[in-house]
Amino acid sequence: MPSATRTGTKTSREQPAGNSARDHLNNKLFFRLFQAANIYETQAVRVLNFSAVTGATLGALYRDPNGMLFSELYTYLGVSRQNLDAVLKGLEKKGLVERVEAEDDRRKRMVSLTPAGIEAWRDLHERSLEFFRQGTNGVSAAEITGCFETLSRIARGLRAIEPD
């Protein structure tokens, strides 16, 4: 982030070395992603009574009636093991998911929806569709497609970053 320095009564902003128009755009883009994700999370809880990660977890599990391995699920969702474990504990308390040992390896856990979880997902999915319609009101299908493709490329780029 730029640092502010005072020179007399006037404030100037020092720009880091290598700052460019592209750096400025990247900064704005990632801020907007951060902002949109936070607004989405707040509104999902307020309007749908489910957090975004809880809804995504139910949706991911609904795709496969046999359930998913815990490790596959957190990788698919792009969340940490700890975050997913906390979400699953809450869903288990509500009777919406269950975790059982995998048949081939007792160390692995399969996560699947219960019948109540299937019903909860169907209800949430219907309400989510209207929520998403309202959220994308005024955005064309072509813009949504372009955004989806761009975000997918950004996600791949982020996954490829290695720490120094």
56: confidence class by pLDDT, cuts 50, 70, 90: very high
Amino acid at 65: P
Tell me the helices (H) and strands (E) count for the chain, helix number first. Answer: 6, 5
Are residues 2 and 14 in contact, defined by beta-carbon separation less than 8 angstroms?
A: yes
For the residues 7-22, what does the mean pLDDT come to?
Answer: 65
pLDDT digits (tens, 9 = 90+) for 135-155: 999 999 999 999 999 999 999
For the residues 108-115, what does the mean pLDDT come to?
Answer: 93
Q: Residue 151 CA to chain centroid, in angstroms?
A: 12
Are residues 101 and 109 in contact, defined by beta-carbon separation less than 8 angstroms?
A: yes
Q: Over the Cα atoms of the chain, what is R_g? A: 21
pLDDT digits (tens, 9 = 90+) for 26-36: 999 999 999 99
Structure tokens at 10: 């006037």
Which phi-psi region, left, alpha or beta, contains residue 33 (left: φ > 0; alpha: ψ -120 to 50)?
alpha
pLDDT(6) > 80: no
What pTM, to 2 d.p., does this model score? 0.80
Domains defined along the chain, listed by start: 36-135 (1.10.10.10)
Q: Could you give the CA distance from residue 138 to residue 131 in angstroms, rounded to a whole number?
A: 14
